[in-house]
């Protein structure tokens, strides 16, 4: 199983998982409350819309499946499965050696196999650290020692930048968590970065079949920022300046979730090359949320130009900024499979909190009982 997986980031039909894309692809924040009137008015950001390439390495090595090792003509075993390791488990060390590179695994397995010793694997499952013990099995066909596990430590994909906050030096993108496609497990980020990306073509959405942006990472594309966290509301990290191709020369205000209204709005996204364009949408439903939750609004594409080019919302559009009355209000996050002209968006309020931008201001909980 390869160490790198490629995806176009967008959630489908309300599921919070990326959809398999052109080639192949956590800290969850709890306890926030809605902020008091006017709190977010101090924050101004540059809306994004640029297509970005995302590269992340997990903080360990992820188990994504089991396989059998043929140790004799009559016998096949999977030491990893027998030890209790499950898809979705994040292996963080073997015999005390930190797994910061996937190549370390084969090395440690060979050493243990050659001397017939047991491996002690520390791993994380559902936030709790556990230990598995096993002995490698010798693959009689390939002449190597194996654990009987498929593993992965990195992912890459294409999405959309939502905002850059210049005063705080942070950005937010995607609008939803990146998960491993095989296991559905949120990727715990060890390191990562985002780079410029170029849209080469569009596979149009049709009912029952979401389309996708086909894009490539720019060879000379500089690193735009690092990736420090992967939460329910996207990826976040440090960024030094507003990236090129922005439609804005100055930052604009952001809206509280309570300010978002049903009615006309716009999204910013790229459908060709690196040019960010503005397209009309209609916000047809707004959920009143007092604490962070996904699916804050339902939007429908109304711009005939975008419908002609994409058929509606496509994979890779995740994170496209939503603007209303001159303010950034949210980001596109999901597409409805059976109605790709419609989808969900999340409120920018929750993305700002997860980026750290909101915490750098004096916010007070809204304690009004409802």
Which two tokens mark 238? 């440090």
Distance in angstroms (rounded) separating the CA atoms of residues 111 and 119 = 10
pLDDT at 117 over 50: yes
Kindly state whether residues 164 and 138 are assigned to the same domain: no
The stretches of the chain forming alpha helices (DSSP H) are 79-82, 103-115, 304-310, 348-355
Could you tell me if 91 and 99 are in contact, meaning their C-beta atoms sit under 8 angstroms apart? Answer: yes
Tell me which of 147, 170, 196 is where a domain ends.
147
According to the model, what pLDDT value does residue 239 have? 96
Q: Kindly name the residue from 13, 303, 339, 361 that is annotated as catalytic.
A: 303
Tell me which of 147, 170, 189 is where a domain ends.
147
Distances (CA, A) of 17 to 119, 175, 215, 232: 33, 12, 20, 10
Q: In the predicted model, what is the mean pLDDT of residues 121-130?
A: 96
Q: In the predicted model, what is the mean pLDDT of residues 305-316?
A: 96
Kindly state whether residues 24 and 48 are assigned to the same domain: yes
- Give the model confidence (pLDDT) of 99-109 as tens digits: 988 999 999 99
Residue 232 annotated in active site: no
Cα–Cα nearest to 271, from 227, 303, 242? 303
- Give the model confidence (pLDDT) of 134-181 as tens digits: 999 999 999 999 999 999 999 899 999 999 999 999 999 999 999 988
Do the domain assignments include residue 314? yes
Could you tell me if 211 and 205 are in contact, meaning their C-beta atoms sit under 8 angstroms apart? Answer: yes
- Give the model confidence (pLDDT) of 187-234 as tens digits: 999 999 999 999 999 999 988 888 999 999 987 667 999 999 999 999
Could you tell me if 43 and 357 are in contact, meaning their C-beta atoms sit under 8 angstroms apart? Answer: yes
Kindly state whether residues 232 and 350 are assigned to the same domain: yes
H or E segment at 199? strand 189-203
Q: Kindly name the residue from 318, 320, 342, 355 that is annotated as catalytic.
A: 318
Kindly state whether residues 344 and 321 are assigned to the same domain: yes
Which two tokens mark 212? 């996708």
The rounded radius of gyration (Å) of the Cα atoms in the chain is 22
pLDDT at 369 over 80: no
Tell me which of 147, 173, 203 is where a domain ends.
147
Which two tokens mark 245? 């191709």
According to the model, what pLDDT value does residue 271 have? 96
Q: Kindly name the residue from 154, 176, 257, 342 that is annotated as catalytic.
A: 176
Between 2 and 128, the higher pLDDT residue: 128
For residue 196, what are the β-bridge partners? Answer: 52
Kindly state whether residues 302 and 237 are assigned to the same domain: yes
According to the model, what pLDDT value does residue 73 have? 95
Whole-number percent of the chain with pLDDT over 70: 85
CATH number at residue 190: 2.40.10.120
Between 370 and 152, the higher pLDDT residue: 152
Kindly state whether residues 143 and 159 are assigned to the same domain: no
Domain of 178? 4-58+155-360
On average, the pLDDT of the chain sits at 86
Kindly state whether residues 11 and 127 are assigned to the same domain: no
Kindly state whether residues 252 and 292 are assigned to the same domain: yes
Do the domain assignments include residue 99? yes
Could you tell me if 41 and 192 are in contact, meaning their C-beta atoms sit under 8 angstroms apart? Answer: no
Half-sphere exposure of 236 (CA within 13 A, CB side): 27
According to the model, what pLDDT value does residue 42 have? 78
Which two tokens mark 163? 């905002």
- Give the model confidence (pLDDT) of 257-276 as tens digits: 999 999 999 999 999 999 99
According to the model, what pLDDT value does residue 36 have? 39
According to the model, what pLDDT value does residue 18 have? 33
Distance in angstroms (rounded) separating the CA atoms of residues 322 and 262 = 13
**How many other CB atoms are found less than 10 A from the CB of residue 72?**
9
Residue 304 annotated in active site: no
Distance in angstroms (rounded) separating the CA atoms of residues 342 and 340 = 5
Distances (CA, A) of 93 to 39, 49, 63, 122, 154: 43, 39, 13, 5, 16
According to the model, what pLDDT value does residue 221 have? 63
CA angle at residue 281 from 277 to 285, to 5 degrees?
145
Q: What domain count does the chain have?
A: 2
Which two tokens mark 215? 């894009």
Kindly state whether residues 9 and 105 are assigned to the same domain: no
- Give the model confidence (pLDDT) of 319-358 as tens digits: 999 999 999 999 999 999 999 999 999 999 999 999 998 8
Kindly state whether residues 185 and 306 are assigned to the same domain: yes
Kindly state whether residues 77 and 208 are assigned to the same domain: no
Q: In the predicted model, what is the mean pLDDT of residues 298-318?
A: 96
Q: In the predicted model, what is the mean pLDDT of residues 36-50?
A: 74
CATH number at residue 129: 2.30.42.10
According to the model, what pLDDT value does residue 290 have? 84
Do the domain assignments include residue 286? yes
Which two tokens mark 37? 């009137």
According to the model, what pLDDT value does residue 181 have? 85
- Give the model confidence (pLDDT) of 6-29 as tens digits: 344 554 433 333 333 222 222 222
Do the domain assignments include residue 370? no
Residue 246 annotated in active site: no
């Amino acid at each position: 199983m390869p160490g790198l997986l490629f995806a176009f980031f967008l959630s489908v039909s309300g599921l919070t998982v990326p959809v398999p894309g052109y080639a192949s692809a956590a800290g969850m924040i709890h306890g926030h409350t809605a902020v008091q009137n006017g709190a977010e008015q101090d924050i101004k950001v540059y809306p994004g819309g640029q297509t970005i390439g995302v590269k992340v390495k997990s903080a360990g090595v992820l188990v994504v499946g089991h396989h059998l090792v043929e140790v004799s003509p009559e016998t096949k075993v999977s030491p990893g499965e027998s030890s209790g390791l499950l898809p979705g488990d994040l292996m963080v060390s073997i015999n005390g050696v930190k797994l910061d590179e996937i190549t370390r695994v084969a090395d440690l397995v060979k050493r243990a196999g050659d001397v017939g010793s047991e491996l002690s694997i520390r791993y994380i499952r559902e936030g709790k650290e556990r230990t598995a013990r096993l002995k490698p099995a010798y693959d009689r066909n390939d002449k190597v020692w194996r654990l009987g596990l498929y593993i992965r430590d990195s992912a890459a994909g294409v999405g959309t930048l939502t905002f850059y906050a210049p005063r705080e030096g942070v950005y937010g993108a995607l609008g939803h968590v990146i998960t491993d496609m095989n296991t559905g497990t949120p990727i715990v980020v060890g390191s990562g970065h985002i780079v410029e990306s170029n849209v080469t073509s569009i596979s149009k959405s049709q009912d029952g079949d979401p389309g996708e942006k086909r894009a490539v990472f720019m060879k000379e594309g500089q690193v735009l920022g690092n990736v420090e966290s992967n939460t329910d509301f996207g990826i976040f990290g440090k960024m030094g300046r507003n990236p090129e191709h922005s439609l804005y020369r100055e930052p604009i205000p952001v809206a509280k979730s309570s300010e978002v209204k049903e009615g006309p709005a716009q999204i910013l996204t790229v459908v060709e090359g690196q040019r960010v364009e503005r397209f009309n949408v209609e916000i047809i439903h707004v959920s009143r949320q007092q604490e962070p939750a996904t699916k804050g609004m339902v939007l429908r594409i109304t711009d005939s130009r975008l419908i002609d080019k994409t058929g509606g919302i496509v994979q890779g559009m995740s994170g496209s900024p939503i603007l209303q009355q001159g303010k950034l209000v949210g980001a596109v996050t999901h597409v409805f499979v059976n109605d790709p002209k419609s989808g969900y968006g999340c409120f920018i309020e929750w993305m700002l909190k997860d980026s750290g931008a909101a915490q750098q201001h004096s916010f007070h909980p809204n304690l009004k009982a409802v």
